[in-house]
Amino acid sequence: MRQRLMEATVELLVEKGFSGTTTTLVSERAGVSRGAQLHHFPTKNDLVVAAVSHLTEKRGAELARAAARLPKGRNRTEAVVEMLGEHFASPVFTAALELWVAARTDAALLEAVAPLEHRVGRETHRLTVQLLDVDESKPGVRELVQATLDLVRGLGLANTLGDDARRRRGILTQWARTLDAALTTSTTKEST
């Protein structure tokens, strides 16, 4: 039942936004009574934070599976950047974005969402470093990884206004080339 409630919440966050996602609609979509919904999640904030947290964990597992299929060698950077781009164009990002915007003016929601966002941000950064097989102690590497994550988040945000997969793919392909060159330069400078 909790699972159905959380999945219905994410669907509604994506379809109707935070303000349009009501606990009544969630109960109806999940096929459970309001009483059952209130038993599991007493407030809307409890429900949406739990739902996005759950979906984030699920998406993290999907990212791990996708990472295991990434190629080695020449095309790896492009594959990593593409994988991240897909992640940030997914419904989980759209749902999380709805929470971020709502949390900006809702102190209670911000208190609940901020720790989740910090954890997810750290984990995504760590995963990106690992997948790119880079050493953040080298000058500029940490900033390049963070710029990559900021870029894919920005493209994910733009995607909420309309799917422009072709444009996104072109940008990500060019960024992967730029990133490869910059990481190679950073590694070369450090070893000389």
Position 187 pLDDT exceeds 70: no
Q: Percentage of the chain surpassing pLDDT 70?
A: 96
Average pLDDT over residues 125-151: 95
pLDDT number for residue 188: 54
Q: Report the chain's mean pLDDT, rounded to a whole number.
A: 90
Segment among 5-9, 27-31, 56-60, 117-121 with least mean pLDDT: 56-60
pLDDT number for residue 62: 81
Residue 71 DSSP code:
P
Structural domains in the chain? 2-191 (1.10.357.10)
Q: What does the alpha-carbon distance between residue 20 and residue 95 come to, in Å, rounded to a whole number?
A: 12
The residue among 177, 171, 135, 129 whose CA lies nearest residue 153 is: 171
Sign of CA dihedral 183, 186, 189, 191: negative
Could you tell me if 99 and 39 are in contact, meaning their C-beta atoms sit under 8 angstroms apart? no
pLDDT number for residue 108: 87
pTM: 0.83
Burial class (CB in 10 A: 0-12, 13-18, 19+), 67: middle
Tens of pLDDT along 11-57? 999 899 999 999 999 999 999 999 999 999 999 989 988 987 887 78
pLDDT number for residue 73: 84
* Helix boundaries (H) for 69-164: 76-88, 91-103, 107-132, 141-159
Position 191 pLDDT exceeds 80: no
